Structure 1
């Protein structure tokens, strides 16, 4: 019935917004902005009606959550970096019907998920920054999914991604894109050193690790990457413990995925963190490689480090 037309791993660095404003940072993130504009163009070309964002700035402590209000509008200031994003206006339509459909599919697969349509909950900037550049014309409805998961298993996040794909393909009358909104390594520069690391990675180890991951993605080494993801999430300081990446790969077919990443915005450093815009072709999958539910026991940070 429906179609998952495009999947991407995207940056949401707040310096993109700062790059619009007069001052020393003006124009310095144009490459990342251009990457978002290009991904938005591809979505329009493919007939996408709704973008689902796995947002690593939406912190949750229990269940998975979907923000699918009918409309999103307001002004946003980041509580994390208010000197980067202050009073940024936003506005775009939501998709309550799709959000509820996605939640039902996840629950049917044993991944406890709640959809919120009658809510005053505003999106986080992992959704707002990309939509500023991809969706300036309000061409797409938007659904935001919590992906800063504090007490969750990566297995469940992979299963959530697969459940959402099947919900779209089997029950939705439309075309959807999934975006994993988060960095690669996410070790911020130590306080007092942020200006020095504005365009750098925190350490050579993290930069080499990220570049090796991008090489694996470009060569389609998905079995190896899925096996290393829990350790990469911990030792690489993965943003949101890389639950967005697990969701994305679950939707693509996990270790059985046979596509190769296309880099739209080359890897770059931002305040110590490693960033990229990359598109992943959606290929036919049967879900056989999706991991089983994780046995209970570990929680929080240790839950991330469990082998899938």
Structure 2
């Protein structure tokens, strides 16, 4: 029987890649990079063989989709922010068997989940950025699941998370599950992009994010689940926060009682709220 060893909500801000490069922004996201490396270290200690990413940069308009390619390799430039991420090389192994099993379990719950082995189906940067820092030596297999779901119910995203748990029970291995997306996500106005890379767009979003992080640290998950739809709407949650709903489905939804461990403190990035937080998972 397989095991989920680690669950986390993580950042994937493209300024992490920019932070590596010489120039005025060098080192600007080192704390976020260090947080990814700490999560990687813990995964290694726990014997994780596969990292599953709920990717809020994989936009889908119909169905839930799992990239089950056995191998990923390419050179990535962000269409959205080519001045932040360009010519980033990557090469990872996939886990087709587990991906197909997750889709099957989700379908059994009435969720329109589909798994794909399509050579031209590439990874998005919600997966590529964290893997750059967590999986430099390519030790972990990678599964990417679409989490920018434009016409979907959060309830079905919860079910997909529950299906993942069922699939892992039939898998002979150990996995980590990452919700890759921001908290609030009202992107900074273009005219303020240069000066606003390290600030929130709205004070309202900052205050709500602070409260949410405090709730996570206290383990107030039943209350958070109640506010999740409105939080996503009023604070422009990235990917409509389907990654968070999926992760909560994995963790037990409103029955989860763990208290978040903050690995990288809440920080603003181009108007959005970002964090690396681990949720204890038994």
Q: Give the TM-score range, shorter chain.
A: over 0.9
Aligned residue pairs total 282
Q: Deviations over 1:89-118 (max 9, x none)?
A: 111101111111111111011111110124
Deviations 1:31-84 (A, max 9, x none): 000000000010011000000000000000111000010111110000000000
1:151 and 1:118 map into 2 onto residues whose CA distance is 23
Please give the root-mean-square deviation of Cα atoms over the aligned residues, in Å. 0.6
**2:227 maps to 1:228:** yes
For 1:267-282, list aligned pairs within 5 A.
Answer: 267-282=266-281
* Alignment of structure 1 residues 288-303 onto 2, 5 Å: none
Question: Which position in structure 2 is the counterpart of 1:25?
Answer: 25
Give the secondary structure class of the aligned counterpart of 1:192.
Answer: helix
Measured in 2, the distance between the counterparts of 1:237 and 1:244 equals 14
Write the deviation string for residues 121-173 of structure 1: whole angstroms up to 9, x where unpaired. Answer: 1100000000000000001000000000010000000110011011102x100
Query: 1:179 Cα shift?
Result: 0.3
What per-residue deviation string (whole Å, max 9, x for no partner) do you get for residues 171-223 of structure 1? 10000111000000000111111111111111111000000000000000011
Q: Distance in 1 between matches of 2:62 and 2:204?
A: 33
For residues 1-308 of structure 1, the aligned pairs below 5 Å read: 1-169=1-169, 171-283=170-282
Taking structure 2 as the reference length, what is the TM-score of the superposition? 0.99
Report the Cα distance in structure 2 between the residues aligned to 1:14 and 1:277, rounded to whole angstroms: 15
Provide the C-alpha distance between the structure 1 equivalents of 2:196 and 2:255, rounded to a whole number of angstroms.
37
Task: Measure the CA separation in 1 of the matches of 2:259 and 2:192.
Answer: 36
Give the superposition deviation at 1:119.
Answer: 3.1
Distance of 2:75 and 2:24 partners within structure 1: 24
**Which ranges of structure 1 fall in alignment gaps of 5 or more residues?**
284-308
Task: Give the TM-score of the pair, scaled to structure 1.
Answer: 0.91
What is the rounded CA distance, in whole Å, between the counterparts of 2:121 and 2:230 in structure 1?
A: 33
